[in-house]
Amino acid sequence: MNFENILVENNEGILQITIDRPSKLNALNKATIEELHVAFTEAKVNQDVKVVILTGSGEKAFVAGADISEFSDFSPEEGKALSAKGQANLFDFVANFPKPVIAAVNGFALGGGLELAMAAHFRVASDNAKMGLPEVSLGVIPGYGGTQRLPQLVGKGRAMEMIMTAGMIDANQALQYNLVNHVVSQEELLDFAENLAGKIMRNSLVAISSAIKAVNANFETGVNGFETEINEFGWCFGTEDFKEGTSAFLNKRKANFPGE
């Protein structure tokens, strides 16, 4: 598929998906969400994709939120459908993606932008980044998982304050809040994220996929994460990667994982 709102580039297994509407600070309109869904769906089955890095075009924004111009006249039913569809097609899809997804937050990550960064498995930010959930300043609440993922990451009190004040925090405060793992300069950001992706790719990607499921189970209602861990742990023993990883260790050589 030809994309109009995103750029997709595979660099030796690291798929960089760049949200590319810089004149609108990369705001997520319907078409962009659909294109992201297609790109992630393709990346899921493409054996040549090992890790995904998600970032924004330009120097100003990762994503400045959902596109406000598209939903300003919505009814309650349309609002509910917008949230449900977005969560299913993009935000939950990314959170449960079987390959690592790193958000490289290169500027404003507001509303749906911060929600997208939070759906990624972890985040690195440039020192000019600004993050917040300003939805209550528009008379609405975060609808793409923000009320759930922000407290998971920063704690309930900080999440409540950020949501209620609709304010922004800078990159260093986001680091202090555990909202991002690292802060680097904007020039270094993508190299830094690629370097992390490279470290991840040296390991068993099938085991990493199991680990994603097990960690995510901790945040699912009605799911016993310890049981998920036991099942995933057992499943790993049947993989070729496990045979290779253990035999490489015992033979004092570097593992060369087949990825199956």
A 10 A CB-CB count for 15 gives 23
Task: Characterize the bridge pairing of strands 6-11 and 14-19.
Answer: antiparallel
Write down the least CB distance from residue 138 to ligand COA, Å: 6
Three-state secondary structure call for residue 34? helix
Is residue 115 close enough to count as binding ligand COA by CB under 6 A?
A: no
| Candidates 43-51, 89-97, 131-139, 189-197; binding stretch for ligand COA (CB under 6 A) | 131-139
Nearer to ligand COA, 51 or 66 (CB): 66
Is residue 129 close enough to count as binding ligand COA by CB under 6 A?
A: no
Whether 135 sits among the annotated catalytic residues: the reply is yes
Is residue 178 close enough to count as binding ligand COA by CB under 6 A?
A: no
Please tell me the count of residues contacting ligand COA according to CB under 6 A: 16
Is residue 62 close enough to count as binding ligand COA by CB under 6 A?
A: no
Q: Beta strands of the chain (E only): which ranges?
A: 6-11, 14-19, 51-56, 61-63, 101-105, 108-110, 122-126, 130-132, 168-170, 182-184
97's tokens: 């993606």
Is residue 66 close enough to count as binding ligand COA by CB under 6 A?
A: yes
Nearer to ligand COA, 25 or 214 (CB): 25
Write down the least CB distance from residue 150 to ligand COA, Å: 14
- Residues near ligand COA (CB under 6 A): 24-25, 27, 64-69, 108, 110-112, 134-135, 138
